[in-house]
Amino acid sequence: MAPQLPFINLLAQPGGRRRQDLGSFEYSYQAEITNVYPLTKAEKLYQLQLIDPEERRRFSFLPGQFVMLELPGIGEAPFSISSSPLHHGDLELCIRDVGNLTHFLSRMQRGARVGISGPFGTHFPVENMVGQDVLLIGGGLGIVPLRAPLFAVLENRSRYGRLDVMYGAKSPADLLFTYQYDSWRQFDVNLAITVDRPNRGWRGATGLITELLKERIAKADFQPATSFAIVCGPPVMFRFVCALLTEAGLPMQKMFVSLERRMHCGRGKCCRCNIGATYICLDGPVFDYWTVMNLKEAI
Amino acid sequence: MAAPLSYLGVGLDRPRVGVFEFTSCEGCQLQLVNNEATLLDFLNLIELVNFREAMSERSDDYDIALVEGSISRADEVARLKEIRTNARLLVALGSCACFGGVNQLKNRFGDLDWVKKKVYGDFPIASQEVRPLADFVAVDLMIYGCPPKKEEIEKVVTNLVVGKKVAMPKYPVCMECKANENICLFTLGEPCLGPITRAGCDAWCPNHRRGCWGCRGPAEAANVRELEAIMARHGFSREAMLDRLECFGGFSSQVAALRGQPRRPRKARSSKRS
Amino acid sequence: MIFATFSKKELPRLFDLLAPNTVVGPVQKGLDRAGRPLYDFDVIYRFQDLRLDYPTTIHSAKRHFLPHRESLCTFTLQGNDWEKQVDYNVYKPVVFFGLHACDINALNKLDKVLSSPPYPNPYYTAKRRNMFIIGQGCQPQPQCFCRSMGTDTALHGFDLFLTDLGDRYFAEILSATAYQFLQKIITRPPTAKDHDRYKEVVTERNQQFQTTVDTTDLTKLLDLEFESAAWQQWGDKCLSCGTCANVCPTCYCYGVEETVDLDLRGAAKTKYLYSCNLIDFAEVAGGHNFRPQTATRLKYRYYHKHRGFVEAYEESLCVGCGRCGEACLAGITVPDVLASVRALGG
Amino acid sequence: MKRSRTIQLNHLPRVEGHGNIHIRVQQGKVVEARWEVVETPRFFEAMLIGKLWENAPYLCGRICGICSIGHTLASIRAVENAFGIVPSEQTTTLRLLLKHMETLQSHILHLYFLAAPDFLGVGSLLALTQSHPTEVQRALRLKLLANDACDLIGGRRLHPTRTVVGGFTMLPEKAQLEHLAQRLAAAQEDLAAAADLFGGFTIPHFARETEFVSLKGDHDYPFIGGELISSDGVIKKEDEYQAMTNEYCAEGFTAKLSRLSRDSYAVGALARLNNNFGHLHPAARTVAKRLGLAPVNHNPFMANLAQLVECVHVVHDSLSLIKKLLRRKRQAPRVALKPRKGYGVGAVEVPRGILYHAYEFDQEGRIVKADCVIPTSQNHANIQHDLQALARQWAAQGQADADIELLAQMLVRAYDPCISCSVH
Ligand SMILES: Cc1cc2nc3c(=O)[nH]c(=O)nc-3n(C[C@H](O)[C@H](O)[C@H](O)COP(=O)(O)OP(=O)(O)OC[C@H]3O[C@@H](n4cnc5c(N)ncnc54)[C@H](O)[C@@H]3O)c2cc1C
Ligand code: SF4
Ligand code: SF4
Ligand code: SF4
């Protein structure tokens, strides 16, 4: 009898859940939707809890990282974790109903189960910002990924300098997390909000977020040498914002942005989100502005 | 009554479906019953309330209208408008409904009386220029193909039931043909419209060594100019290319451009559901 | 490396020894319009069907390690609950009989992305680990430019590599398994004459390459010529059809599709290979397309292969097999494109 | 009880295409019984003019969604006859096999989906999935087999891809044919059960002397090409088909009508069986006898049973065709061709009856003139006459409206009309 080649069964090999393990590729945690809060017409805040207590405890992430959320047969998509890293496997995702997955999700009730994998990607290096002023600038849904670094700074508020949150939305009805603004201010956050289209009752600023930023830069206490900025929002917005900050003297490597691409695997294999050799899902989504400047077609 | 439907704990409505046909060969609706292996599961997913070809019962209360065929007579226009009023979602099923299909080939003569005379002599017959559904009513969704793939119809219906958006491929047939590792028909010496035709059929014809005739209409970046060059390079006549391009009506604007005719303005009122 | 030679008559015996496994190799698929034979890789049951004299194949052997469609997992559902089943879709080892150096190098390149941390792709890796590869020296074709890409010889990534010395084969043995298989046929250690003949054959072959690509400073050139008019010229021809990616041995981009079973009791997640030339490749949620023009997409393919990959792995992702140029109906070939970017830009 | 009443049924369900039934009874006498065809015409015969020859089979297959294979084959035959192409034996065998599988598919569809619900008193097959699940499964199994076979040989069950002038673009593999033979052999059990089911139905009592037209079989039960014959004794050559069909237009019909020796004639399974009973496979003849079907039968409702007998015939004949294919050496899939000026006719027996395609070509193979005569259009006049006779018979018997309406529908359905095809 001729010899048969040995078969190496990778599936049979013990698969842990560490990054290097082959078994981790398609592994997803099961999580339960514990609460759903409608924030605006299109966005809802989902509180999720990993079902396995051990997994919930071990799950850890850094501000700016994202997870892939999966609904069997419906789809899988990346979402920034919007809660504090201290809460481990009790996650908050703020999700806008734009398509298949997000729409089906919006019809699900508490108690339903979703798949979560990750966390993936790079993060905003809040640990390097200790002792410095921090500017968080968000446009539209961009406020969602900003919440994680915001919480991270607030947990250690005394270790940071001045903390600015600038947030722009289309209209007052589109503002997210309005219920939290007061509590942020209590932690010495300079919150500035602007809308494009004010309604009758609106008493805050109107216009582009760049106007808020110009005002801030004009102030005497703006010190580019000891500041960091995190900018999230649509590409047009952070292009202008970053240009303004650069002009004001903030070094490019001290500005961080989060890029968005359509991701199919989230694991640097499907080649859908990469720009040349740079994978948004592995090397990003968080980049410093210098890197983005060097990426063709990044924004 | 069948058990209520649900998916991942979300309750789903079983859509009431009506199937209708206009000027056509009725092949598209036949495809609905041509999926023997899955027919019963398919029928469980929907409530069929109107399907003249297969059932006696009729009702005007339906959510989804699957409409086959092109429009070529005044009474058809009226009936189509009625269907539009009744249906929440109107689906154009097949090339005739989407583009006019083979039926629109008679339009190319311009003179309709000549066409009628050619077939019926002096016998009076009512018939007008063949048009696709979207020329008269808003069409929510198009299922392309002559014939459409039953798998595609099933996928579309499943997606509608669970509330998933239906996205048809935007790339051309070549993509699927190459994925199936076929030998290119141009290599074999046959013309093919695969490079510019919308995929989704899984390269049905090239899989059988038959050139594509473009029944699914243009792909989203259809490079007709280059196709012309390719046809010429391989020694195929312009006539053979135009025969294929004009066969199903999907490329009507491209054909008009190639023939140097002004593109006739369309009354198109296609709507996208939000 | 360990070498051996054996008579050509021994090859069928080696085949038969390996035949209890699935064997994939070059076969004739038909004739083209001029009556010339066409080849592709397929599963082989009889030695006679193996066409080791094949010049090249239309498609690479990719289907057997990166299938165009592949199930990633399935789900079974009940109420709120669901369960996921993962399968890597490989159940036995596969023998690849007669891969040319370019195709072996393609696998080596793919390994760098797909089998490397973080998140090695287990579907590919499981297949790759279960491959037994017998490489074979090739006959350079007019479209081949592997020599320019440095992939005309394979240094690793195979079990056994055969060079045709006329009446016998010169074998490079790279794995213990291959060594053990060769024990079962009649081989002998190569003599000095064999070495000389081997060198002669290789030199002869190297003189037959007709196409070259100037890769000097290519990555920088591409950066400089990002706005070159050449891209638009080729873009005007490109059909956005993805044929080039489909026949390419190293194109691995994919998409994922999730489907619900007709009975609503199950679901599946399927991977399908995609191509950066397809119009919606760079579309994101909300409908924005980062590369709506054909020219920018075509350019992107070159940037990923010849610039991005080089940046990451110090080598190009293209092995110079020339398949994409042969398959492209619009006649767009890598040597032409790169030459025109160099010329037009300068 | 004598009174006046009108039965008006628009867009008759469970038939292919759009037709209306209109019956008016006054004082127990039928004053009007009309079969109307309101289907929108498509003008294929005009469409083809000026097109190159290769368009003909491609377009003409699309005349009909049910018998697209038959149309394609008739069209191919017409082109081949015009160009003087003789297909290989392998091609003719495969074509006949393909034809058989279409016949099986179409007959099963008609018998179970369209006709059976009437006999079982329901509105559609949907209801039968509850009441007769085994029969439905059987029907689906048979239909799947036939459809799979059409996919295998023709490339596609609807609008075939592999069938071309000169032969086929691709051939089925040996193993695939062997597998098909196994499935066909196994299907005989399902067909026997179908014969039991349909044999148990009460076939309405009605007969009207009719002329039957079909192909004339020489040695075999005929399906593709050959002479034409009528039960009234007319025999013509294939290219003299116009002498058989005598098409004319009439009020109330968007389809053309036909006549031969009488006011109307019938084509279809019953006509084929009446004219060629002796050529049926013995197994099919046995089933026919069991079902009480012998030539010449003048009850149009018996067409249902004739279809069943044909199903048995085609399954048996397919088995011997496959044997023949497996025995012979493989030939090239198709023969080369050169267009030339000429005229050609293709006559093919499709499920609903005899079908003719005829084209005239110029030097380059461009179509100058095209004519297609569809089985259902040949049947329309006969349906009309049957309907009148039937209405008279039942009105005289004082049947209730609902019964007459149902019987009238069943009569039309028994012809398995393909109305859209008839109005091509
Ligand atoms: C790193 C990262 C973090 C993110 N964080 C968040 C977050 O915190 N919150 C949030 O709400 N979103 C976030 N997003 C965006 C989010 O991933 C997308 O909104 C999500 O993928 C949408 O998935 P879906 O299935 O609902 O939409 P899809 O069904 O994929 O469709 C979304 C839109 O794209 C269009 N589309 C889809 N498929 C096609 C196609 N084939 N052709 C053409 N158009 C198509 C649809 O028309 C629709 O408008 C993030 C994205 C990234 C990359
Ligand atoms: S056969 Fe047609 S679809 Fe297939 S690759 Fe060639 S041109 Fe494209
Ligand atoms: S290959 Fe072309 S003609 Fe054939 S089914 Fe696909 S789109 Fe239609
Ligand atoms: S380069 Fe050629 S093969 Fe590739 S997408 Fe463009 S036309 Fe198709």
Per-residue model confidence as pLDDT tens digits over D373-384: 999 999 999 999
Judge whether D248 and B119 are in contact, CB under 8 Å: no
Every domain of chain A and the residues it spans: 22-120, 126-294
| Nearest Cα to Cα of residue D273 among D242, D239, D245, D304 | D304
| Nearest Cα to Cα of residue D314 among D141, D168, D146, D73 | D146
Q: Give me the residues of B, 153-192, that contact C with CB < 8 A.
A: 154-155, 158-159, 161-162, 164, 170-172, 174-175, 178-181, 183-184, 186-189
C237 interface with B at CB cutoff 8 Å? yes
A99 interface with C at CB cutoff 8 Å? yes
CB contact set of B258 (below 8 Å; sequence gap of 6+) = B224, B228, B242, B245
Residue B265's pLDDT is: 47
DSSP state of C304: I
Has residue A9 got a pLDDT over 80?
no
Alpha carbons within 13 angstroms on the beta-carbon side of residue D348 total 27
pLDDT band at residue A20 under the 50/70/90 scheme: very low
* Per-residue model confidence as pLDDT tens digits over A200-228: 888 888 888 888 888 888 887 888 888 89
Cα C69 from Cα C272, distance rounded (Å): 4
CATH architecture of A126-294: 3-Layer(aba) Sandwich (3.40)
Average pLDDT over residues D184-196: 96
Burial of B36 (0-12, 13-18, 19+ CB in 10 A): buried
3-state secondary structure of B162: helix
Using the mean position of ligand 1's atoms as its centre, give its distance from the Cα of residue A78 in Å: 8
Report which secondary-structure segment, H or E, holds C70. Answer: strand C69-78
Residue B81's pLDDT is: 96
> Number of H helices and number of E strands within chain B?
11, 7
pTM of the model: 0.90
Q: How far is B121 from chain C (nearest CA, A)?
A: 45
| Cis upstream peptide for B147 (omega within 30°) | yes
Q: Chains that contact A by 3+ CB pairs under 8 Å?
A: B, C
Every domain of chain D and the residues it spans: 44-422
B7 interface with A at CB cutoff 8 Å? yes
Residue D266's region, left for phi above 0, alpha for psi from -120 to 50, else beta, is beta
3-state secondary structure of C189: coil
Using the mean position of ligand 4's atoms as its centre, give its distance from the Cα of residue C329 in Å: 7
* Per-residue model confidence as pLDDT tens digits over D318-366: 999 999 999 999 999 999 999 999 999 999 999 999 999 999 999 999 9
Q: How many CB atoms lie within 10 A of CB A252?
A: 15
DSSP state of B51: E
| Nearest Cα to Cα of residue D359 among D72, D106, D75 | D75
* Per-residue model confidence as pLDDT tens digits over D5-46: 788 888 888 888 888 998 888 777 788 888 998 888 899 999
Residue D183's pLDDT is: 97
Q: Which residues of chain C have pLDDT under 50?
A: 346
Alpha carbons within 13 angstroms on the beta-carbon side of residue D268 total 35
Burial of D177 (0-12, 13-18, 19+ CB in 10 A): buried
Judge whether B25 and D64 are in contact, CB under 8 Å: yes
Residue A1's pLDDT is: 43
> What atom of ligand 1 comes closest to residue A93's alpha carbon?
8
Mean pLDDT of chain D: 93
B240 interface with D at CB cutoff 8 Å? yes
Contacts of C69 in chain B (CB under 8 A): 179
The superfamily in CATH containing domain A22-120 is Translation factors (2.40.30.10)
Using the mean position of ligand 2's atoms as its centre, give its distance from the Cα of residue D201 in Å: 52
pLDDT band at residue A8 under the 50/70/90 scheme: confident
For residue A44, which phi and psi values (nearest 5 degrees)? -130, 150
Residue A264's pLDDT is: 72
* Domains of chain B with bracketed CATH: 5-162 (3.40.50.700), 173-259 (no CATH)
Cross-chain residue pair C79–B9, CB shorter than 8 Å:
yes
Tokens 């195979």 belong to residue: C158
Tokens 């490489």 belong to residue: C135
Cα D325 from Cα C48, distance rounded (Å): 25
Residue D4's pLDDT is: 76
Q: Give me the residues of B, 153-192, that contact D with CB < 8 A.
A: none
Give the distance from CA D203 to its chain's centroid: 20
Q: Which residues of chain B have pLDDT under 70?
A: 1, 261-274
Residue C285's pLDDT is: 60
CATH architecture of D44-422: Orthogonal Bundle (1.10)
Closest C-alpha residue for ligand 4 atom 4 = C244
Residue to substitute from A97, A100, A106, interface B, most B β-carbons within 10 A: A100
Structure tokens belonging to residue A152: 């991270």
| Cis upstream peptide for A285 (omega within 30°) | yes
Please name the residue of chain A whose CA is at the shortest distance from the CA of residue B10.
A108
Judge whether A113 and A30 are in contact, CB under 8 Å: yes
- For residue C3, list its beta bridge partners: C172
Judge whether C192 and C200 are in contact, CB under 8 Å: no
Q: How far is A271 from chain C (nearest CA, A)?
A: 5
* Per-residue model confidence as pLDDT tens digits over A86-108: 888 899 999 999 889 999 999 99
Residue A64's region, left for phi above 0, alpha for psi from -120 to 50, else beta, is left
Report which secondary-structure segment, H or E, holds C71. Answer: strand C69-78
Cα D148 from Cα D105, distance rounded (Å): 10
Judge whether B10 and B55 are in contact, CB under 8 Å: no
Cα A198 from Cα C45, distance rounded (Å): 74
3-state secondary structure of C155: coil
Cα C47 from Cα C165, distance rounded (Å): 20
3-state secondary structure of B172: strand
Cα D377 from Cα D237, distance rounded (Å): 20
* Per-residue model confidence as pLDDT tens digits over A139-155: 888 899 999 999 999 88
The amino acid present at A90, given as its one-letter code, is D
Q: Which residues line ligand 1 (CB under 6 A)?
A: A 66, 75, 77-80, 94-96, 98-102, 141, 144, 260-261, 263, 285; B 165, 167; C 280, 283, 285-287
> What atom of ligand 2 comes closest to residue B212's alpha carbon?
2
Q: Give me the residues of A, 167-226, that contact C with CB < 8 A.
A: none
Report which secondary-structure segment, H or E, holds B159. Answer: helix B150-162
* Per-residue model confidence as pLDDT tens digits over D273-301: 999 999 999 999 999 999 999 999 999 99
Q: How far is C69 from chain B (nearest CA, A)?
A: 8
Cross-chain residue pair B8–A112, CB shorter than 8 Å:
yes
pLDDT band at residue A262 under the 50/70/90 scheme: low
* Per-residue model confidence as pLDDT tens digits over D194-239: 999 999 999 998 999 999 999 999 999 999 999 999 999 999 999 9
Average pLDDT over residues A56-66: 90
- For residue A33, list its beta bridge partners: A48
Cα A45 from Cα A144, distance rounded (Å): 10
**What is the dihedral sign for C-alpha A280, A283, A288, A294?**
negative
CB contact set of B211 (below 8 Å; sequence gap of 6+) = B185, B190, B191, B192, B193, B194, B205, B244
Cross-chain residue pair D59–B105, CB shorter than 8 Å:
yes
Angle between helices C334-345 and C229-237 (to 10 degrees): 150
What is the three-state SS of chain D? CCCCEEEEECCCCCCECCEEEEEEEECCEEEEEEEEECCCCCCHHHHCCCCECCHHHHHHHHHCCCCHHHHHHHHHHHHHHHHCCCCCHHHHHHHHHHHHHHHHHHHHHHHHHHHHHHHCCCCEHHHHHHHCHHHHHHHHHHHHHHHHHHHHHHCCCCCCCCEECCEECCCCCHHHHHHHHHHHHHHHHHHHHHHHHHHCCCCCCCCCCCEEEEECCCCCCCCECCCEEECCCCEECHHHHHHHHCCECCCCECCCECCCCCCCEECCHHHHHHHHHHHCCHHHHHHHHHCCCCCCCCCHHHHHHHHHHHHHHHHHHHHHHHHHHHHCCCCCCECCCCCCCEEEEEEEEECCEEEEEEEEECCCCEEEEEEEECHHHHHHHHHHHHHHHHHHHHHHCCCCHHHHHHHHHHHHHHCCCEHHHHCC
